[in-house]
Amino acid sequence: MALRATRRPMWMERPSIPTQGLKTLVLIVIVAAMLFPFVYVIAESFASERDVLGGGLILWPAHPTVQAYQQILAGGIVARALLVSVGITATGTLVSMVLTTTLAYGLTRTREVPGSRFILFAVLGTLLFGAGIIPNYLTIKAFQMLNTYWSLILPGAVSAFNLVIIRQFFMNVPREVIDSARIDGASEWHILVRIMLPLSKAVLAVIALFYAVGIWNEYFNALLYLNDASMWPIQLVLRQYVLEQTPLIVTSGNSFQLPPPQSVQMAVVVLATAPILIVYPFLQRYFNRGVLTGAIKG
Amino acid sequence: MELRRADATLVPRRRTRTLRARIWRERWMYLFLVPGFLFVVAFRYLPLLGNVIAFQNYSPFLGFSGSPWVGFQNFTGLFTNPDVWTALWNTVVISGLQLIFFFPAPIALALLLNSLMSDRIRRAVQSVVYLPHFIGWVILVAIWEQMLGGDGLVNQLLRNHGLHTVNIMANPNLFKPLMVLQDIWKEMGWGTIIFLAALTAIDLHLYEAAAIDGASWWGRIRHVTLPGIRHIVVLLLILRLGAILTVGFEQILLQEPAVGATAGQVLDTFVYFQGVVGGDWGLSAAVGLMKGALGTILVVSANWLVKKMGEQGVF
């Protein structure tokens, strides 16, 4: 990315005080609207019975407690669903990354590899149309993948959008580097693993994040393909217990010291969001650099 | 997108090699190509065949081969079904609202961010506004419910002050604007990335020249900034037009039950409720097929129109 001047150029007039004030106000409102709900939900998840009965706005619970989390993590459907989600997200991201990077590398030399141009168009075509809910369901059924975790992992394993971004990065690796490696006897596998992947670490991290977030947040495929509620990932459990207000089955704990139900619900929300909130700070710096935009502009 | 014709002119002069020899020479590359390609065929192309049930009175027990063929009966049924028209109307209204309110939002925010002098503040704001993009719809709806729902924060405050409560999340009249507002909350920040990239690519000398010629800040936006990002705006507009019959399926599926089908059902949720839940497979597959075909036609013709107008298209 080009460096922008951080000092005001001579020709640019200073914005008037009202303009500056308005700009600041707009930014504060936007940032607050996006941050405040998270703060509020997290605060509520730590609220105890006394805080809730006290009424009013809970932004900093006076008597914080981790009871809600204890209750959830002691076992039962939410803890199980969290494990399921972690499992399918890890497996799915791995499968997606292997398939997408190998295919992206295979598509870097469309001039030389017969048939690869056709494959590239076939992949790009998927950006234009989708088959729809019912045909997809029938396909999964025909593959006998209903009620298996593969139905959540495999259908989205190759995203054309992500593939285009990775391929663009591979194509930008100088030809001489690859050719000299090839002269030294490197196989295609070596070129991919020893040259391409290390040079594209930033973009691979971002794409892995995209895949992981996509799988973690998915609920519809699970709703469509999994009949057995005990197999549900966390998002579907969240939908059931928080949005549809089905009471959460109490698993353990002293009956007279239960955390308030609202805190438990919010703790489920927090746990369902936590992995994203934890990973996000490490990866967000890449979004500001040219990682994505380079490919999109191409 | 980056498939340029230049490829053809750069072909080295070893075309004399036979096709078989070229394939043999690159045999290892096919190890990379084949697995991914098979996935794309199996999960993106093969399902297209499933659309044949739009011409059948499909029953899951009889399968493709056993279900009776009914010709275009599902399609004629589609036009006389009032629920389809309601769903189409809701879809188009939400799409229209998105086009008016949601589409320009990232452009406006990108212009605002671009006008900031301090890099530090800009980065801080960016890292906050990108975040909602990564929040799934279930979480988003749960959080919004907590803010605006019947027992949410807003109503708690209203109640504490002895005022009437309003359940914004379950009001049929507010449903469509609410969906668009959620889209804006979730994607406005992320949407700025592509515009910020286009904005940084604009030559600063153009601004300087315009300023020296006496252009005010608004004049510079109109004559330098907007023309500089026009190409990318047009490109995204084409894609948006192609997707005009697609509005957030996962988002609406979660929230439609709270307001009912009349206010909330869109084409995709109609397909789900009518087909998967209701068992009317043929009719809902016909709706899905119609929608997919229309969407493809829309994006291709929008692209054609834009090229006619002298802009660069998507493809």
ipTM for the predicted complex:
0.89
Report pLDDT for A266.
92
Q: How far apart are the first and last CA of chain A?
A: 14
Q: What are the φ and ψ backbone dihedral angles of B294, each rounded to 5 degrees?
A: -60, -40
Among B28, B7, B6, B2, smallest CA distance to A106 is for B28
- Inter-chain residue contact B47 with A131, CB threshold 8 Å: yes
Inter-CA distances, B232 with A274, B217, B236, Å = 34, 22, 6
| CA–CA dist B71, B54 (Å, integer) | 9
**Contacts of residue B245 in chain A, CB cutoff 8 Å?**
none
CB contact under 8 A, A216 and B136: yes
Q: Cα distance from B233 to chain A (closest Cα, Å)?
A: 12
Per-residue confidence (pLDDT) for residue B12, from 0 to 100: 53
Q: What does the pLDDT read at residue A298?
A: 38
DSSP letter for B51, please.
G
Residues of B in contact with A94 (CB under 8 A): none
Structure confidence at residue A6 (pLDDT) = 57
Q: B213 and chain A: CB distance < 8 Å anywhere?
A: no
pLDDT recorded at residue A257: 60
Q: How far is A213 from A209, CA to CA, in rounded Å?
A: 6
* Pick from B26, B194, B296: CB nearest A293: B194
Task: Name the residue in chain A with its Cα closest to that of B283.
Answer: A134
Mean pLDDT of chain A: 87
Is B137–A219 a contact, with Cβ atoms under 8 angstroms apart? yes
Q: Mark yes or no for CB contact B200/A5 under 8 Å.
A: no
pLDDT of residue A56: 63
pLDDT of residue B285: 92
Q: Using CB atoms and an 8 Å cut-off, which of residues 83-102 of chain B contact chain A?
A: none
To the nearest 10 degrees (0 to 180), the angle between helices B137-148 and A17-45 is 100
> Which residues of B fall within a CB distance of 8 Å from A290?
197
* CA nearest to B282, candidates B88, B108, B68: B68
Q: Does B17 touch chain A (CB under 8 A)?
A: no
Q: Kindly give the parts of chain A with pLDDT less than 70.
A: 1-6, 54-56, 247-257, 288-298
CB of A92 closer than 8 Å to CB of A152: yes
The amino acid at A83: L
CB contact under 8 A, B112 and A280: no
Cα B97 from Cα B95, distance rounded (Å):
5
B57 class by beta-carbon count within 10 Å (0-12 exposed, 13-18 middle, 19+ buried): middle
Q: Which residue of B has its CA nearest to A271?
A: B139
Min Cα separation B60/chain A (Å): 9
Tell me, what's the pLDDT at B302?
85
B138 touches chain A (CB under 8 A): yes
Task: Give every CB contact of residue A65 below 8 A, 6+ residues apart in sequence.
Answer: A46, A47, A48, A259, A263
Are A96 and A276 in contact, with CB atoms under 8 Å apart? no
Answer whether B33 sits within 8 Å of A266, measured CB to CB. Answer: no
Chosen from A109, A134, A209 to mutate, greatest number of chain B CBs within 10 A: A134
Q: What is the pLDDT of residue B13?
A: 53
Tens-level pLDDT at each residue, chain B (315 residues): 444 444 544 555 555 578 888 888 888 999 999 999 999 999 999 999 999 999 999 988 888 888 999 999 999 988 899 999 999 999 999 999 999 999 999 999 999 999 888 889 999 999 999 999 999 999 999 999 999 988 888 988 888 888 888 889 999 999 999 999 999 999 999 999 989 988 988 988 899 899 888 888 889 999 999 999 998 898 888 888 888 998 999 999 999 999 999 999 999 999 999 999 999 999 999 999 999 889 888 888 888 888 887 777 777
pLDDT tens sequence across B10-35: 555 555 578 888 888 888 999 999 99
Mutual angle of helices A77-106 and A160-172, in 10-degree steps:
50
Answer whether B62 touches A (CB < 8 Å): no
Do A105 and A192 touch, CB atoms closer than 8 A? yes
